[in-house]
Amino acid sequence: MDLLAAWPLPGDRALGAQLVASYAHPERRYHDGRHLEEVLDRIHELALAGEEFDKLAVLLAAWFHDSVYDAQPDAEKRSAAWAAEALPTLVDPGLVDEVVRLVLVTEHHRPAPDDRNGCALSDADLAILASDPERYAEYAASVREEWAHVADADFAAGRSAILRELLAAPYLFQTAHARASWEAPARANVEGELVALEALASR
């Protein structure tokens, strides 16, 4: 995919180019252009499957959701701030507010059941969990690389806590299509990663 060609506001390609550059930062390992491309693909898949949501709002939020990423806990807030600063001259205020809100949803992936936009974006962002085993292994390794400054035991503990919290929920995904198509492989992948993390922690 030509990411810039996929930018949903062709009237301002300069902003799209800035975002493409942010995802191409050399220190990124998982939260990069490939991740953005995969999220965009999943949003289109959800729409084609009949899920109802504001596609422009969700696409714009996808573009901004990891626009700032440096393995710090407030990255989503800074990504949302970029959207709030950059979009007002391009789209109406209501859409700006919705994009900002959606970016913040990706911090915890807990949209309300009736939040169609939030559910679509959250599911698309988490869809990597349902990848084929080879891609999932690449994903897990890339996440570890982004946290290379953290000791193995500490990383394993923190990552395991996140994954166990995901598995504790009744569903990983919110939309009907994602639950039918992605839930089972995602849970299998996450459970497999937890086994690997236990081995890492015991080294």
pLDDT in the model for residue 89: 95
pLDDT tens digits, 130-171: 999 999 999 999 999 999 989 999 999 999 999 999 999 999
Per the CB < 8 A criterion, the answer to whether 97 and 138 are in contact is no
Per the CB < 8 A criterion, the answer to whether 77 and 67 are in contact is no
pLDDT tens digits, 29-60: 999 999 999 999 999 999 999 999 999 999 99
Domain 3-201 in CATH 3.40.50.970 = no
Domain ranges of the chain: 3-201
Per the CB < 8 A criterion, the answer to whether 66 and 31 are in contact is yes
